[in-house]
Amino acid sequence: MQKKENLARIIFHIDMNQFFCSVAQILDPSLKGTAFAIGRENTTKGVLSTASYEARKYGIHSAMATSEAYKLLPSLRVISIDYKYYKYYHYRFIDVVKEYTDQIEVASIDEVYADMTEISKKIHPTIIAKEIQLKLLKEYKLPCSIGIAPTLFLAKMASDLKKPLGLTILRKKDIKDILYPLSVKEIFGIGKKTYPRLIENKINTIADFMNPDNKELILKLIGSNTYNYAYNSLTGNSSNKVDPDRWSDSQSISEVRTYDQPKGSLDEALYEIRLIFKEVYNKMKKQSYYTKTVNITLRDTSFKTITRQKTLDEYTDDYYLLLDETLDLVEENFEDKEYRLLGCGLSNLVSPENLPKEYNLFTILTDDEKLNNIDNLMEELQSKYGKKALFWNKTSK
């Protein structure tokens, strides 16, 4: 009898443990074993991005107001790290995973999904996972947890089960034994504003959530979209496709970030979008492009994703104009819900030599050309209205 081929995919979710804190400790070893957090230095304003394990013992956590954290621990060290260091170690992380597969989907700066189906035909997936953990820890001092499962959702759930340096295999037949006893707040995609409503109504565990007798009540509490997404995912009927090109677009430059703690306020979202936009803009300038279209991506905790864009009248590389238009889009489309992914981008990109002839001179020309045009305009006005009618100080920039 011919042996039945196993068609299940082998998906890894590789999650860096306290990535931002790990990078901070690499840059400053004196931080090891101390209570510290990542945020804005020398101020009580803003919120924390994350906190070290030692700080968490005092109740300090990500998305907590810095002022509140200082009340819990006045001696807390709050530090800020240049984002370029996070990007550097992110790429080292990706390089290690690429030694095993090119089927990698970047979920955020500190987590990826990787399809290890092919290489697992030669090497057992647990051996691969342990090798990746060891390489990241030994070569870069970066700890990670890995979940192995047949779908992206289950791999993510598995990686969250053991931290730090955890390794968990979650097969469909193990779902009831491993996941059902967990609290509903552990369901990936259920936001911090959603699960309390479930618990208040005695939907305490994943087993309660999956109980058909509770379906009508849960639908009233969280709606059909969130319910159907979570229910199907918890039965193993969700995507097993790792898409390396999910966010790629050859005619645009964009960045997205996902958050363990979803962003529930407009102020938080605008703050994050400003940081993301700066990266996108710098990439555009590095390639000497101009643009006339800005876009945003917002994904809530039920995985409903919206994308919006606005096309300007003229091509430009004006940082503040493009930023303002991007922030306006966010304000226009932000709703009273929690968002786990935020992103923005610039499209309709053209190089200087390919600019259409009708572009606006003051928007597009080089700095020298702009100054020459301003000089010519001023000379024309001064010839009509006198030398003192209009003047400017070129050295005051």
User: What residues act catalytically?
Assistant: 111
**Alpha-carbon dihedral sign for residues 37, 64, 154, 171:** positive
Phi, psi values for residue 260, rounded to 5°: -65, -40
Amino acid at 236: G
Strand order in the sheet with 50-51: 50-51, 36-38, 77-79
Three-class SS state of 246 = coil
Element (H, E) at 377: helix 367-385
Cα separations (Å) of 141 from 51, 253, 284, 327?
Answer: 18, 31, 32, 37
Phi, psi values for residue 144, rounded to 5°: -145, 160
Phi, psi values for residue 263, rounded to 5°: -95, 120
Phi, psi values for residue 224, rounded to 5°: -75, -35
- DSSP for 169-206 reads E--GGGHHHHTTTSBGGGSTT--TTTHHHHHHTT--BH
Q: Report the alpha-carbon distance of residue 11 to residue 295 in Å, rounded.
A: 31
State how beta strands 36-38 and 77-79 pair. parallel
* Distance from the first to the final alpha carbon of the chain: 82
CB atoms within 10 A of CB 75: 9
